[in-house]
Each structure stands twice: as structure tokens, then as C-alpha cells.
Amino acid sequence: MRGNVGKNVSITPRGQIEQLQIFGDLTCTDLTGMSHRQVDLVKSFLRPSENTTVTLNVEVEPGNVESYGGGQADTNTEALQCGRRLLSIVTHDDGVFEEARWVLAPLRKPGTLDESNNQLQIKTTSPITGDVSLTVAQAKQQSLENLPSPASPTIPGVSVFTLTINSNSEDVSSQTFITSDIQKLRKFSAEYRRLKAIAAKVVDLRTKIIPLHERLSKATAGLPGNDLRDISTVRDEWIRKASIAKATVGTKSLRLRLGSFNVNGKIPSQDLSPWLRGVAAKKSTGQPWISPLEPLSPLGPLCDLLPEEKDEDDLLTKSSANATPEMKGVDPDIFVLGFQELDMSTEALLYATSPIKEEMWTTAIFAGLGEKGILYEKLVSTQLVGMLLIVIVKKALRSCFNDVRFCYAGAGIMGFMGNKGATAVRLEFTPTSSGVSELASTQPIALTFVNAHLAAFDEMVERRNYDFHDLSARLTFPSAGGTGYDDTLNLYQSDVLFWMGDLNYRINLSDSDIRAILTSYPDGDSGVQHIVAYDQLRNAIRSNEAFSHFVEHPITHFPTYRYGAGLSRDLLGYDTKRKPAWTDRIMYMPSPDIDLKQLGYGSHPEITLSDHQPISADFHIPVAIINKGTYEEHTCGLHRELSEYDQSKKPRIKVQTANLDFGPIFYRRPTKKALVLLNDGDIPCVFRFLSAAPDTPVAPSWLHIEPMVGLLRPKETVAVTTVAYVDDAAASKLNLRPPKLECTLILHTALGKDHFISVSGYYQYTCFVNTLERLARLPGPIRNLKTPEDLMPSTQALNAPREIMRLINWMMTNSLSETDTFFGRPARRKLCTVIRECLDTGEEFPTVTAESDRSDLCAAVASTLVAFLDSLVVPVIPPSLHARCLQVRDRETAFELLDEFPRESINVWISLTAFLHYVGQQGSASGKAGSRSISSKALHLAMLFAPILLRDDPSGEFPRVSLIGKRDFLLYFIA
């Protein structure tokens, strides 16, 4: 039998009870030695999911009776009767997280425990947080004297100990108890310390990044999961966020500059100021010559989408994170510099390293900082053989950095030698706010930096991936000491984890391809962009083989390895014996709570002393200044408000919008609808969306819901955002289906009803994401199709899809004299959407008169052509033919191969290459007239179109072929 908690618990005045969740894996300690009646008694006050781990019989220290809220003690007798207490540690185990607190219950009538269950009341509950401390001491003589020892059965008068519970929080005053049950007391304090240690630890980043709805129990319609556990998970997260919002009193901008440099055993013979203070090099000069394809990540989180809707007319360029004004003219607060191959001598491997090299480089760093050098000081450094990590901070902020820890691990010869491996530093930054002096304390953020040197050579990818996982597990920061319990921290127990160094990842392209691409396009970033797609590290992240969830800023700089001094060099200065690669990298993994921004990422070619170029990255972290006192106050208040558990009341959510009709749904145009939910019950309510059947998604691929999970207090409403958005993957399916879209969303109320929300819309067919074969069989504009089967028989198919011919014809007739405007300017997104819509509906393209509008239109038409070709389900030249294309050695055979193409592809190919040939000619006419060499314009066009027209087969059925080979095949037609 379980007691009805709602009735019996006496809730002490506001501020007296607080709770805080504690994370960790707790096991329930046994209750041996405890009277089963008492255990049952305590248990009767608890929720089914709660457990008492230790219960202790105590007496209140005399003179302390009133201070802890034990009620009015008028007479001695009452004070005595109030003096006996049960002190319990209660954990709330929901399988993933545990919540722990201690509960204090007075026993009003000594000796009549059995008959007077209802006399037991919970007086105080308090969370076991890092802020609460417990001290145990031998009782003072005077305390004992004041005790009515003979009258009290719990104190036989042998050894008596006092137990004091202190709290830094103003709301909970310290309380002192007396007990003689030493064994139990020991257990109690051990359990207390263990829980406290868990509370103090930072949650692992790998846990934090899991979205809330994925942390809930598995459930589908009609098969509810563990609703009780889910409620506590959602509630705790909600309280944490709400408390942070309430307790945040300001923000401190923290600016970081990270640098990594493999110095190849050299001494600092050059000025390092370009690396430390300079703007990182970007190879792109001004505008990209070719407007990039869709810069948006296909969908990503919904927030990516919404700006597009707000400002549809932004330029189709990459969001430039570089050169944000915030960073200009502001010195970093902290430099974190990682070196590799500082010392390449054999002795360095075998014996402890001498600090000479470190001193040398530290001196060089401060020299490089120039007149700013006096503002900084070294905070910490850690070295393992050639790997050195130095942290330099602004002197003025020195006191904000604390709990600085470091560690290292070897991963080289025999798996542990220090020729490869990593060094790491973890530090906490506590923001101070000069304006808010009354702040008792603020919460720090933890930053972890890893400087690694991983296994070398092209083919050692798997070894590098292994090294990453191995080092991730082995790099742990030992206990700072003095806490009395083990608080070793791993790399991920941090708010941001930075990982940099010579990671040695190479490029999966042939040596000649890499050099050819880099030398052909020295002025734009198109070459770099093409190669980055083949970077081993990026592939490892994408395939989750290593560095999962790490973020790296887009690379725009040239490969940093390997530059030769005196060795045989190519035109760009790269060693001809080693494939150029981005071996040197800086990445990060932030907590979802941290709004980190990267302001720059690049190499520093001015520094030539090593065979690597140094790289740097600038970051900006807005650190919330959180008033700890306010935070805990809100946490406890909200816990009290939301945790009341009354079985007689039912959660009730009212869906204000039972139907979501999106109307027409267009390809790549988000449509947003709000789904309003109201809690019209009397208790807080947790809701989540469920899938209809196991292993199926909650919503179809074209529908997105945010948030998927939520908590509503009574009378609160929330507008859940639902967005219909058709990306390429969804369009490839929807283009082949009847246009009517329908589905039912299931909204589950934890411990309550399921609601159905019917969703409908009408998909608008698009010519994008189709096959050439299907487009050629369309009887008219694709939007006129009533059903996806309304096609002409293949015998009556057109020579080429009319959409592509329209684009080419328009460009040929509209801009003979100004071909530069086609691929030389960024396009306006809104205009591109208009052109695409015209292709789908068959309407005329817009006409413009003003010259600037005209250039915009040209750029938009050209950009639409590129995007259209890139969206084709099967590329113009199917992957099965790629290998044969690359065998072609002359123009004649290239044209002969055309006969092998699919019928629709031949005409597309001929028209397109004729057009590109024409555009290429226009460019070179003014320049090297009469020259037989291929114009740079033609080269650029070929590089832009080759990977699209000969797109690789993602399934891997047909092996990838050389990018330069593809380009050269196209050049036979357009040069």
C-alpha cells in the first residue's frame, strides 16, 4: 500500500523545500539494520519511483529545535517530543537520471510508532547539491548534558555524534542532529558524499547533445512507454532552463584564439605575430567567381529555415562567419596554442623532456604579441614529448580562471609512446560582473582543449579514427584534490570541447588531381571547395567513424601540408613527394546551451619555418552570468510547484487546432502553421508526439514539428510550430505520388489521452528532382499533371526536357553581350524561386528593364540551371558511363561516346556544352586572343559543371573517378 502523498505531507513554508536533480548511476543501498516498519513508514510518503537509500534515527540538538522549523516548542516536553526525527536520503530513479534529496520526518510520539502512522510528517526536504555540506563530529559535552539521555531510547550514552547540514543557500539554515548509531551514520554520510560528488560533476556533452525527445522512453500509439520517467525528464529539463533564464543577470563575452602549429622540430626563427594577431588567410579574393549552389543545409533544425522565410531575398552566398565586426580590434581574452613536433630528438621520446624548447617558444609567443604582450600571462602548459599545449590569458581575467587541470596520453609507438598522442587542458571560467556587486556567486563554464598529433600517412585513416576514440577515453583529468571524493573528469564533461592539432587526415583524391585543381584555380575558393569534399576527416565525421558531433568551420584556406624548403617543390610550394592535405585542424563540440560563434579559420602562409603552415581560429562565447542563489531559489520553487503528485487529478490538454491544412505545398518553400495547445486541467502536463507504429517516424519527411516535447502548467498555452518543407529527398518521392498529402499526428499526454491532429496539404509538382527521361515525357508543364502517371508514351517523348531548353534558350537570346553576368554574380534567392516556379507552371520568365535588375535576372537564371542539373535524380551522364568518359583521350572519341548516352541525355549534353563553349569563348576573346590554350573561363565552367553532370554514385556501385578526369572530358566539348 502506498500512502496518498497529497494528503499527508505537510509542505513547509515556501523556501524550505527545494529539490535538485542529481545525475549519475546510483544503486540502491540495502536497508539492513533498519526496522522494516520505519522503512515502510518513510516509503509511504514517497512516489512509486522513489526509494530511500539510508534512513537514520536522529535527535535534534537541544537549542536548535526552533531554528529548523520543527514547529513551536513552548514547553520542554514538546521540545523533547519534537526532538526525535527520521532522516532519510531519497533517490528518484527513473532509469536514466536520478534525483536525490534528504527528507526529515519528526516522530511525535516516541514509542508509539506503530499505532500512529499518521503522526509522521515530512518536515523538510532538501536537495543534495554541491552547495550543501555535511559535517560529522563527536558531540560536545554540553550538548550531551542538555540531552535527556535516560529518557531517550536512541541514545544509550556511549558514543554520540553530531551531524550538521549546512547550506550556502540563504533559505535553508544549518541544522544539527545527534545520533549514536555510528554505523548508520557512516553509511549516511558516505551516501551523501557520493551523491554530492555526482551532483557536482558536469554532465557529459555526449548526453547533453541528445535532443530531449530522444531521451524519453520508447513509445508508440497504444503502447505507452514509461510516462512517469518521461515526466520527470521533461520537468527537470524545463526547470533547469526556466531557472537559468530567471537567474541570468548578464553576459560576459569571452574571446578565444586557438592556434595549432606543427613546427617540425624547428626553432622559432620567425616572427609569430601573423599567427597570433593576424587575420587568417582566405584564398578567395572578393566575390566567388561562381555562385555556389544551395548554401543551406538541406534542412537542419527548423531555425535554419525560418530566416529564409523572413528574408527571402538574401544573396545566395555562404553565410560568412569570417570577419565579423565583433572581433575587429578586440584582443582575445585567452590564447590556446597547440604545438606538435616541438622536439624530434630520439632522447625526447625516451626521457623526460627538457623545458628549453618550451621556454623558447613561450618567449617567441610573447614577442609575437608585441606591445600587447604585457597584458597577458601564461596560465598553464602541458607537454608530452613534441606535443605542447600552452594557455595564455589576459592578466586582468586571471582570477576568473580556476580549477585548471591538465593531462596527456601517448598513442605512438607500441600504442603508448609519446611520439603521437595528445595533451589536454581543462579550465573553468567564472564570469564576474562589475555592475552586479551583490552577486554571491556565479556559475562557471568549463572549457576543455585537446592538442593532438595522430597517426601519419594517407592509408592510416582507420588508425587515426582509432587514436581519436582511444585518446577520448584515456585522456582524463585527475581529481583536483581536497574534495575528499574522486572527481576525475573526462574530456566531455565540459561546456565546450575544442580539439586541435596535426590530426594527419589526408585527401581521398589522387596527388595529381589535388595539385591540378589547386593550381588551376589559385584565385578563387572553388578549387578548395571541390577538394574539401574528399577530405578524410570530413568523411569520418559524416560517417560517424570519428569526431562525431564535432563542428569544423568551412575550410577556405589551402592545404597546410607539406611545404618544402629546399625539397623539390611544385608551383604552389608544396613538396612533390607528399600529397598536399589539411593535416592541421581546429574543431569544437559545444553544449546546446552555449551560443558559441566561430569568427575565423585559416592558415598563415607568412610563417614558413616549418613544413606545415600554422592555423588559427577565433571564437566568441557569450558566457551567461548566472546568479547561483537566484538559480537555486527558482529551481526549488519550480520543483515544488511542478512535482506535486495527486493521483486524483488527471492531466488534460486541449488541442485548439484539430486540423492543420497547409494548402499548396511547394518544393523548398517552407509553410508554417501553429498548433495551439492549452492545459485546461489542474495539474502540470507533459506532452509528446508519438509515432503510429514502432520504427516509423512521428511525421512524414515533409513535415517538421518543434518542439516535439513540452510541459504546460495549468492554463498555459503553447504554439507548436509545424512546418511543411519539401527538400530533395522528400521531393524525389512526392513527385511520383498523387499530390494530395495527408497524415495524422498523435499527441500523447503523459498519463492521459492521445489526441489526433489531421494534417493535409496539396503538393505542387516541380520539375526539379526528376529524371530527364520522365521530364521528356511530360505533356506540358509539370504543374498541370493531375496524377503522376499522366505521361506521354516513351515513343512520343521530347528530344530533351523543355525546362532545360527554356533556360538555355533564354540565356542565349537575352544576354549575348554580357555573358559575365551569368556565372559571375551571386544570385538572389527570391528571383531563383520565381524562375523555378515559371519552369514548373510554364509561365513566362519575368521581364526587367533596369540594367541592374537585368544582371540579377541573368544570375538567377544561370543559378537555377545549375541547381536544376544538380537536383536531377540521375545525373546527365549516368555513373555507369563515367569510367568510359575518362578513358577518352581526344575530342573525336569524346563525341563518339555520345552515342552511348541515354537518349534524353544526348540532346541536353549537346545544347548545354554548346552554350558553355559559347560562354567560355566570350570570356577569352578580349584576353589572350588567338591563344590556343584553354581559357580560364572555360576551366572554371568545366570545374563547376563536371561534378554535376558526372555526379558520383552515392551507393558506390560504380567507383568514383577522378575529378580532373571529369573536367577534362567536359573540356573536350566546351574548350
Considering only 526-534, 584-592, 748-756, 847-855, which stretch makes contact with other proteins by CB under 8 A?
Answer: 748-756
Per rule CB under 8 A, is residue 223 in the interface with other proteins? Answer: yes
From the list 190, 204, 183, 201, the residue with the least C-alpha distance to 484 is 190
* Mutual angle of helices 851-871 and 802-814, in 10-degree steps: 150
Q: How far apart are CA 384 and CA 475, in angstroms?
A: 13
Considering only 224-232, 340-348, 848-856, 877-885, which stretch makes contact with other proteins by CB under 8 A?
Answer: 224-232
CB of 220 vs other proteins, minimal distance in Å: 8
- The residue type found at 758 is S
Per rule CB under 8 A, is residue 693 in the interface with other proteins? Answer: yes
Looking at residue 12, the DSSP 8-state letter turns out to be P
Considering only 236-244, 346-354, 415-423, 650-658, which stretch makes contact with other proteins by CB under 8 A?
Answer: 650-658
> What size, in residues, is the chain?
975
Per rule CB under 8 A, is residue 756 in the interface with other proteins? Answer: yes
Q: How far apart are CA 656 and CA 812, in angstroms?
A: 54
CB count in 10 Å sphere of residue 37: 11
CB of 49 vs other proteins, minimal distance in Å: 9
CB of 652 vs other proteins, minimal distance in Å: 8
CB of 40 vs other proteins, minimal distance in Å: 14
CA angle 830, 831, 832 (to 5 degrees): 90
Q: How far apart are CA 404 and CA 481, in angstroms?
A: 12
CA 299 to chain centroid, in Å, comes to 15
Q: How far apart are CA 106 and CA 83, in angstroms?
A: 7
Compare residues 253 and 656 and give the one whose CB is closer to other proteins: 656
Beta pairing partners, 133:
166
Q: How far apart are CA 777 and CA 767, in angstroms?
A: 12
Cβ(449)–Cβ(256) under 8 Å? no
Compare residues 543 and 647 and give the one whose CB is closer to other proteins: 647
From the list 608, 606, 607, 557, the residue with the least C-alpha distance to 584 is 557
CB of 847 vs other proteins, minimal distance in Å: 45
Looking at residue 827, the DSSP 8-state letter turns out to be P
Compare residues 320 and 758 and give the one whose CB is closer to other proteins: 758
Q: Which of 35, 744, 880, 893 binds other proteins (CB under 8 A)?
A: 744
Q: How far apart are CA 73 and CA 790, in angstroms?
A: 89
Map residue 634 onto helix, strand or coil. helix
Cβ(379)–Cβ(401) under 8 Å? yes
CB of 736 vs other proteins, minimal distance in Å: 20
CB of 744 vs other proteins, minimal distance in Å: 5
Beta pairing partners, 383:
388
Looking at residue 171, the DSSP 8-state letter turns out to be T
Q: Which of 73, 96, 221, 533 binds other proteins (CB under 8 A)?
A: 221
Compare residues 50 and 61 and give the one whose CB is closer to other proteins: 50
Map residue 64 onto helix, strand or coil. coil
Considering only 144-152, 350-358, 503-511, 646-654, which stretch makes contact with other proteins by CB under 8 A?
Answer: 646-654
Considering only 54-62, 474-482, 614-622, 738-746, which stretch makes contact with other proteins by CB under 8 A?
Answer: 738-746
Cβ(330)–Cβ(603) under 8 Å? no
Binding mask 598-637 for other proteins (x = CB under 8 A): ----------------------------------------
Compare residues 424 and 759 and give the one whose CB is closer to other proteins: 759
Q: Which of 743, 785, 805, 881 binds other proteins (CB under 8 A)?
A: 743
Compare residues 622 and 752 and give the one whose CB is closer to other proteins: 752
Scored b (16 or more CB within 10 A) or e, 488-525 reads ebbbbbbbbbbbbbbbbbbbbbebebbbbbbebbeebb
| Helical (H) or strand (E) element with 232 | helix 227-247
Q: Which of 344, 380, 692, 898 binds other proteins (CB under 8 A)?
A: 692
Q: Which of 201, 277, 569, 755 binds other proteins (CB under 8 A)?
A: 755
| Helical (H) or strand (E) element with 474 | helix 461-474
Binding mask 43-82 for other proteins (x = CB under 8 A): -----x----------------------------------
Alpha helices in 248-333 (DSSP H): 273-277, 302-310
- The residue type found at 412 is G
Compare residues 326 and 646 and give the one whose CB is closer to other proteins: 646
**Helix and strand totals (H; E) in the chain:** 28, 30
CB of 653 vs other proteins, minimal distance in Å: 10
Binding positions for other proteins, 191-220, rule CB under 8 A: 218, 220
Per rule CB under 8 A, is residue 120 in the interface with other proteins? Answer: no
Compare residues 116 and 744 and give the one whose CB is closer to other proteins: 744
- Burial class from Cβ neighbours inside 10 Å (0-12, 13-18, 19+) for residue 482 reads exposed
Compare residues 1 and 571 and give the one whose CB is closer to other proteins: 1
Report phi then psi at 6, rounded to 5: -55, -30
Q: Which DSSP string do the residues of 185-205 spell out, in sequence order?
A: HHHHHHHHHHHHHHHHSPPPH
CB of 542 vs other proteins, minimal distance in Å: 33
**Number of residues located near other proteins, criterion CB under 8 A:** 29
Binding positions for other proteins, 428-447, rule CB under 8 A: none
Per rule CB under 8 A, is residue 226 in the interface with other proteins? Answer: yes
Binding positions for other proteins, 447-476, rule CB under 8 A: none
Per rule CB under 8 A, is residue 227 in the interface with other proteins? Answer: yes
Q: Give the three cell numbers for residue 226.
A: 514509461
Q: Give the three cell numbers for residue 319.
A: 553565410
CB of 655 vs other proteins, minimal distance in Å: 7
Per rule CB under 8 A, is residue 159 in the interface with other proteins? Answer: no
From the list 552, 558, 521, 520, the residue with the least C-alpha distance to 539 is 552
Compare residues 551 and 658 and give the one whose CB is closer to other proteins: 658
CB of 734 vs other proteins, minimal distance in Å: 17
Q: Which of 375, 658, 674, 676 binds other proteins (CB under 8 A)?
A: 658
Q: Which of 130, 224, 278, 573 binds other proteins (CB under 8 A)?
A: 224
Compare residues 265 and 752 and give the one whose CB is closer to other proteins: 752
User: What torsion, rounded to 10 degrees, do the Cα atoms 779, 783, 784, 786 define?
Assistant: 100
CB of 103 vs other proteins, minimal distance in Å: 21
Compare residues 693 and 816 and give the one whose CB is closer to other proteins: 693
319 Cβ neighbours under 8 A, 6+ residues apart: 295
Q: Give the three cell numbers for residue 285.
A: 579574393
Considering only 261-269, 375-383, 702-710, 742-750, which stretch makes contact with other proteins by CB under 8 A?
Answer: 742-750
What is the DSSP pairing of strand 709-712 with strand 685-690? Answer: antiparallel
Q: Which of 33, 148, 156, 222 binds other proteins (CB under 8 A)?
A: 222
CB of 213 vs other proteins, minimal distance in Å: 18
- The residue type found at 800 is A
CB of 25 vs other proteins, minimal distance in Å: 20
Compare residues 182 and 693 and give the one whose CB is closer to other proteins: 693
| Helical (H) or strand (E) element with 754 | strand 754-763
Q: How far apart are CA 616 and CA 257, in angstroms?
A: 7
Considering only 159-167, 526-534, 651-659, 795-803, which stretch makes contact with other proteins by CB under 8 A?
Answer: 651-659
Q: Which of 758, 784, 796, 887 binds other proteins (CB under 8 A)?
A: 758
Q: Which residues bind other proteins (CB under 8 A)?
A: 48, 218, 220-227, 647, 650-651, 655, 658, 692-693, 742-744, 746-747, 751-756, 758
